[in-house]
Homo-oligomer: A and B are copies of this chain.
Amino acid sequence: MTDAKKVNFNKKLHLFHDLWSPKVIAQMNDYQFKLVKVNGDFVWHDHADTDETFIVLNGTLFIEFNDNTMELHAGEMTVVPKGIQHRPYANEECHILLVEPTGVVNTGEKENELTAENDIWI
């Protein structure tokens, strides 16, 4: 029997409503795919040990860097290199697929009220 499972993004997105709280939907080797709903402002942070991938599924995501702000629409992606300070935000609810190694904490080095529990599967 194969272990491959089909994952439908929209079906999974209906299963939760909390913001800035990544939900794992699939794992590839030691990397995870996580859905996140975002709206409003996140905190400045970086991930010292890993790059982090953002793929926008619905809505518009802004990522502020030290020297510019990137605007990502549905069907667009970016890889934030490790160690680069960034601050995601959205002006309306936006749905993102994150790809990153297992164990990455959403707020990076800084633990605060936006730090989400890790490894929550839906």
Contacts and interface: CB of A to CB of B under 8 A. Distances in A.
A72 interface: yes
Interface string A72-98: 100111111110101000000000000
B2 A68 contact: yes
Interface string A8-19: 111000000000
Interface string A46-89: 00001111000100000101111011100111111110101000
Given A9-B75, A28-B51, A31-B31, A4 B63 contact: yes
Interface residues of A, number: 42
A67 B33 contact: no
A79 B10 contact: no
B70 A6 contact: yes
Given A4-B84, A84-B4, A26 B67 contact: no
Nearest to A74: B9
A108 interface: no
B51 A10 contact: no
B5 A78 contact: yes
Given A1-B67, A31-B31, 13 more contacts: A2-B80, A4-B70, A5-B78, A5-B79, A6-B70, A6-B76, A7-B76, A10-B75, A28-B99, A29-B50, A29-B82, A29-B101, A33-B53
